[in-house]
Structure 1
Amino acid sequence: MSSDSIVEYVLGSSVRTDVLLAIVAEERSIGELIDAVEASESAVYNAVGDLERKGLVRSLDTGWAATGSGQLVADLLEQQGNLCRLLADDYWREHDVAALPRRFRLRLTELADAEVYRAADTDPHAVVREVCDRVERAGTEVDIVTPIYQAEYESVMPDAPDARLIVDRTVALDALERIDSPDEADQWTETPVRVLDVDVGIGVTDSEIMLSLPTIDGQWDSRTEVIAEDDRAMEWGRDLFEHYWDRATPNDEFVAEHFS
């Protein structure tokens, strides 16, 4: 039986699903499973037998435990549940997730507990203010990726060695066109700055991540922001920033190349 059909088999019964997840959570006796799962005693017995025949659970002297296969199936069930929670918000239908590297799209379910902030028509700059407030509260330890120039964001970017900034290549080139020498390019004297072609906006502090994606038709959207504070989302955001940072060109090299 293929992995897809095993998952479908488990999902084909709510009792099988609940029993597997209960066993994965902790080793349980059959009596404990009957108490934990909302189903008849016979249904729980049948589910345990079905899962054992598929190699997803095994019997020990102390109770029922998941096999490696059972753990993998349970992990996939959790991901599917998180994906459903993520897709409940129209943000993901309206914005271009293809702007993200594929391996980070595959991990987007880690943002299942994120909140989407939206500016009302009567206050279109509310999200920009919200992001600025959060960056200022973060102090000097903040990592930012910006695919656009926005004066409000520039004004709150700290100039400190603990901060890091990645600027889109087009934004950087536009800035260089307005100066006459490399000496004028050091807007931040302490903050490490790098340059990269990027369509995604990210802010990572020690307690939250902020994410901006272009709309599905390629427009920049300053009126919505995805904000998350839980550990899984924080790890996703930190990993994404490091992915871009490792691929970006240090600003001094970029400036020297421009003026060479």
Structure 2
Amino acid sequence: MIHITLEYIEMYHDVEDLIKYTSGSSVRVKILICLCEGIQTMSELKKEIGISSSTISYNIGNLEKKKITSKNGEKYILTPIGKLITYNIMENIKKTAVITKFQKFWLHHDLSGIPLELIKRIGDLYHSSLIESESGEIYKPHEKYQEIILKSKYIKGVSSIFRFNYIELFQYIILENDIYVELILTNDIIQKIIEGIGQDNLKHLETSMAKGNVKIWVINKDVRIAFTVTDKYLSLGLFHEQGDYDNTKDLISDDHDAVAWGNTLFEYYRNQSQKFQV
């Protein structure tokens, strides 16, 4: 860990000037984003950014000196290095926006259930909504979750928490609608579910598992996250730092990037699980 820390500090010293130059000026950041999005002439840049031609010209001239932009006739373009720099700036903006936009969701919550690979891709969750319990609507996150589940074609979920009312919900989905369901659960949760569904429904569950409509996996670790990903939605919940699950907040998204993020998270946990047999 110390070696990695020193390595990053040394790398930062090497690139400190470039980071400060490209990201330290709102004018330069806006120019780079505009060029990346295909806005190329001085008049287009002036209209989009809303600043004078002289200010744009001064900044873009310095960007050219640093080989970040170049000029082709009347058009300004990003160099290959400029594209790499700009893509990273835009991605960092998106990540920071997710942190700021959903500050209440991240603050005082345990993030250990999200692997580093997906922490780095946290910007994929930008087009999400934070559903919170409110005065008079304390069950709002649960109601939204059920709404999502009932209109899904497939459901994949990971959980180490037990909600008795969800047994009935999943029974309905599996037995009545024949929807594909894949769950990763702890041993404790599986035992509670088996006890809660009764012998008749247990036989239906065995039949559904034999048909391949239902797959249940057991994970032998302390899972500090609960989430569901469907064909259209991601529903993400976190634990408090103190250890209890936060029932009052869910991050919900129907954005393609967020759903892909959720599927990658599911694969991460499935790779650590064993198939369960009734």
Residue in structure 2 matching 1:193, options 213, 216, 227: 216
Q: How many residues align?
A: 249
In structure 1, distance between residues paired with 2:137 and 2:75: 58
In structure 2, distance between residues paired with 1:91 and 1:224: 7
Matched, 1:65 2:65: no
- Look up the SS of the partner of 1:99 in the other structure: coil
- Look up the SS of the partner of 2:239 in the other structure: coil
| Alignment of structure 1 residues 24-63 onto 2, 5 Å | 24-26=36-38, 28-61=40-73, 63=75
Residue in structure 2 matching 1:20, options 19, 32, 49: 32
Q: Is the 8 A contact 1:51 1:57 kept in 2?
A: yes
1:11-66 residue CA offsets vs partner (Å, 9 max, x unmatched): 22222111111111116133433333322111111111111222221223462221
The corresponding residue for 2:10 is none
Matched, 1:244 2:269: yes
- Look up the SS of the partner of 2:112 in the other structure: helix
Q: CA RMSD in A?
A: 2.7
The corresponding residue for 1:93 is 107
In structure 2, distance between residues paired with 1:225 and 1:200: 11
The 1:186/1:244 distance shift into structure 2, 3 A limit, reads farther
The corresponding residue for 2:181 is 163
In structure 2, distance between residues paired with 1:243 and 1:62: 49
- Look up the SS of the partner of 1:226 in the other structure: strand
In structure 1, distance between residues paired with 2:167 and 2:195: 18
In structure 1, stretches of 5+ residues that fail to align are: 179-183, 256-260
The 1:152/1:176 distance shift into structure 2, 3 A limit, reads closer
Residue in structure 2 matching 1:221, options 246, 254, 257: 246
- Look up the SS of the partner of 2:22 in the other structure: helix
Matched, 1:104 2:118: yes
Compute the displacement of 1:200 (Å).
Answer: 1.4
Q: Is the 8 A contact 1:56 1:67 kept in 2?
A: yes
Q: What amino acid sits opposite 2:214 in the alignment?
A: T
In structure 1, distance between residues paired with 2:79 and 2:119: 28
Q: What amino acid sits opposite 1:207 in the alignment?
A: K
Residue in structure 2 matching 1:84, options 96, 114, 121: 96
In structure 2, distance between residues paired with 1:95 and 1:56: 40
- Look up the SS of the partner of 1:165 in the other structure: strand
Q: Give TM-score scaled by structure 1 length.
A: 0.84
Q: Give TM-score scaled by structure 2 length.
A: 0.79
The 1:36/1:133 distance shift into structure 2, 3 A limit, reads closer
Compute the displacement of 1:76 (Å).
Answer: 2.6
Q: What amino acid sits opposite 2:121 in the alignment?
A: R
In structure 2, distance between residues paired with 1:30 and 1:52: 14
Q: Is the 8 A contact 2:236 2:250 kept in 1?
A: yes
The corresponding residue for 1:129 is 143
Compute the displacement of 1:121 (Å).
Answer: 4.5
Identity of aligned residues (%): 20
In structure 2, distance between residues paired with 1:37 and 1:61: 21
In structure 2, stretches of 5+ residues that fail to align are: 1-12, 197-201
